[in-house]
Amino acid sequence: MRLRAASEAQREALARLEARVAAVVNSVSLSSAGQAVLAAFVPVTLAALLFPNRLRAYAYELPPGSAARVRATAGGWGPLAAAKAAAPAGALRRVLRSLSDELALAARGLFLMALFAPVILGAPFAFYLGVGRERWTQLLLWTLEHAGPAFIKWAQWMSSRPDLLPADVCGALERLQSAAPAHSGAHSVAAVEAAFRRPLREVFSAWEYAPVASGSIAQIHRAALSPGAATACGVPAGTVVAVKVRHPGVDDLMLRDFALMQRAAAAAGRLPGLKQLRLDESVRQFGGPLREQLDLSVEASHLERFAHNFRRWRNVVFPRPIYPLVAPDVLVESFEAGSAINGFVSAAGAAAAAEHAAAAAAAGGAGGGSSSIGSSSSSSSGRRHEERVAEEIAETGLNAYLQMLLKDNFIHADMHPGNILVREVVRPPPLLPLPPQLAWTGRLLQGALQRLGAAVAGLPLPAGAAGGLLRSEPQLVLLDTGMIAELSSTDQKNVVEFFRALTRRDGEQLAHAILDMSERHTCPDPPRFVEALRDMFDALDPETIRQCTSDVLRDMIETIRQHQVTLKSTVSTVVVTTLVLEGWSSRLHPDLSIMDTLKDVLATDWRQRISKTVDKIMNGETTQELAIA
């Protein structure tokens, strides 16, 4: 009886509870006040469930009013910790901001889907059917221009990768290296006045409203310092400078685009067919090196460090930041004149094609006339000069990269052709000619011999002799140092072992070096990965690695991907930068092998390197002269 009474009491309590819940639900759903509450909180709850905060990308500066920025500031994340809000926002305001962020992100996603739809739909017709290939390429260029800075940056990188994209697509993407969409001159003026808290006329005596160049993050204006600003900066009045102004809203677009990329990659990673691609890791590594590029004051500090590291180089220079005219969104630096290296790369490719065509015509014809011997000799001399300049540009770029990687451990991670200018300077000829493979090794010896010769041979030269001793050689100006890579001592050692094993064709040692460079041990079967790389390199001969370096590295990266090995972002940046450098330098100098140069500089000790240098000189292998820094 007691149990029955207890069960009846429980049923009555449940019935009363159901009645109360029903009354509350009816009052909320039927009354106007209750409907307002539902309209406010149901979308917020759905947004929180559909868009978890752990998928948010914090790789870039967050929008000033976003809830993500408030949370990051409160948690002391990065540079935002230095600008904490005076008073924390209320819970309702944070919810509304979060909802606003998600709505903006959804709108951005819909915009990108609509923007890229014609390109995606037209790709099969352009590539498989050959219909409208040129129009599709122009459409791709237009789409990337309007997609935002993240996609423009991707296009700049891919324009130097003809091993991954067709030649016509690479040629179209090259236009974005220095001719990305520009913002209005009025915004640049407003940004300068806001950054320096002075009217424009008080800072600059002359200002060009049309930008000299525009990139994915900022654009460049040419200006001249006013007398007052020049005095404050310690430079002559009227000094011509380059003013780098960040595009408006670029930080918001970067945040949203990479948040979308991360979410899409995370969703794709749940699919069985796409799980092995590890797209989320690719997006994270792609966004990591771009983090500091949004703050132009960080780029100024990078410029100072590069200038110090290359202070003894004569054929590599960097712009000089003009302090105190440095701010996060505006950077004033020395104006460096020069021609874009793209022209030299294109000319080298055209010259190589013309040479092959001429050789084919000569082989196909018989007994041509000899009346054009003089003109052909003159054109041959001019072509040889252009080839020498192109070769020296490639050698200098490679030597500078090796200096950054192996000596300074401070690497320019954005060395695509759009960030390199070339100008000719007059230098005395080197006293000791060396082959290009020994350029980096012989730099110290060459400089010592130059100084010794200048000290000993102090006799006056005969009239007219000086002109014969002078020669013009290219000087590289490296721009846009916002993206850099620094390796820890352990990672630097592993990278050296990686390149040493690569030059020795030691697949087993190479695999172990790659596993040591992994951020997390995600490889399910390391012994099988080691075996795969060992078999791959055992099947390659030295000449294949030398002439097809990009293909070998690409196949190696594909093997790394298939075995789910995750490299650290800095190490991945070094490998990608090596590929980009090899891409444009090999077009300038087809006979220059990055593998040969690495094999020399990674010799066991300096004694062995100098021995190699002397042996090559004694054997007469001096077809190229060293470009002295």
In this predicted structure, the answer to whether residue 93 has a pLDDT above a threshold of 80 is no
Q: Given the DSSP bridges, would you call strands 316-317 and 471-478 parallel, antiparallel or unpaired?
A: parallel
Q: Which residue has the higher pLDDT, 63 or 602?
A: 602
Tokens coding 466: 């000086």
Helix (H, G, I), strand (E, B) or coil at 299: helix
Is the Cβ–Cβ distance between 625 and 430 less than 8 Å?
yes
* pLDDT confidence bin for 2, thresholds 50/70/90: low
Looking at residue 76, what is its pLDDT?
Answer: 37
Q: Which of 220-229, 285-294, 487-496, 526-535 has the highest mean pLDDT?
A: 220-229
CATH of domain 185-248+295-336: 3.30.200
Looking at residue 74, what is its pLDDT?
Answer: 39
How far is it, in rounded angstroms, from Cα 344 to Cα 289?
A: 28
- What length does the chain have? 629
- Taking only the tens place, the pLDDT of each residue in 296-318 is 999 999 999 999 999 999 899 99
Residue 498's closest CA among 420, 578, 442?
A: 578
- Taking only the tens place, the pLDDT of each residue in 400-442 is 998 998 889 999 988 878 789 999 887 665 554 555 445 545 5
Contacts of residue 397, defined as CB under 8 A and 6 or more positions apart, other chains included, come to 415, 420, 476, 581, 584, 585
As beta bridge partners, residue 214 has 179, 219
Tokens coding 209: 């409203």
Tokens coding 542: 């030295």
Find the range with the poorest average confidence among 284-288, 373-377, 510-514.
Answer: 373-377
Tell me the residue type at 128.
Y
Residue 306's closest CA among 156, 409, 157, 214?
A: 409
Residue 446: exposure state from Cβ atoms within 10 A (0-12, 13-18, ≥19): buried
Tokens coding 117: 């739809």
Looking at residue 170, what is its pLDDT?
Answer: 76
How far is it, in rounded angstroms, from Cα 551 to Cα 164?
A: 10
Is the Cβ–Cβ distance between 597 and 439 less than 8 Å?
yes
Return the sign of the alpha-carbon dihedral for residues 123, 124, 128, 130. Answer: negative
Looking at residue 289, what is its pLDDT?
Answer: 56
Q: b/e string for 287-313 if b means 16 or more Cβ within 10 A?
A: bbbbbbbbbbebbbebbeebbebbeeb
Residue 606: exposure state from Cβ atoms within 10 A (0-12, 13-18, ≥19): exposed
Looking at residue 556, what is its pLDDT?
Answer: 84
Contacts of residue 34, defined as CB under 8 A and 6 or more positions apart, other chains included, come to 27, 28
Average pLDDT value for residue range 276-296: 64
Contacts of residue 597, defined as CB under 8 A and 6 or more positions apart, other chains included, come to 398, 402, 436, 437, 439, 440
Residue with tokens 């990305």: 180
Q: Which residue has the higher pLDDT, 604 or 185?
A: 185
Q: Which residue has the higher pLDDT, 507 or 285?
A: 507
Contacts of residue 285, defined as CB under 8 A and 6 or more positions apart, other chains included, come to 567, 569, 572, 573
Looking at residue 379, what is its pLDDT?
Answer: 60
In this predicted structure, the answer to whether residue 566 has a pLDDT above a threshold of 70 is yes
Looking at residue 573, what is its pLDDT?
Answer: 74
- Taking only the tens place, the pLDDT of each residue in 453-495 is 444 434 443 444 444 445 678 999 999 898 888 888 888 888 8
* pLDDT confidence bin for 546, thresholds 50/70/90: confident
Its pTM stands at 0.65
**78: region left, alpha or beta (phi > 0 left; psi from -120 to 50 alpha):** left
Q: Where are the domains of the chain?
A: 1-30, 185-248+295-336, 340-353+382-453+468-629
Angle subtended at Cα 466 by Cα 387 and Cα 421, rounded to the nearest 5 degrees: 40
Q: What is the DSSP string of 490-504?
A: HHHHHHHHHHHHHHT
Is the Cβ–Cβ distance between 416 and 159 less than 8 Å?
yes
How far is it, in rounded angstroms, from Cα 227 to Cα 529?
A: 64
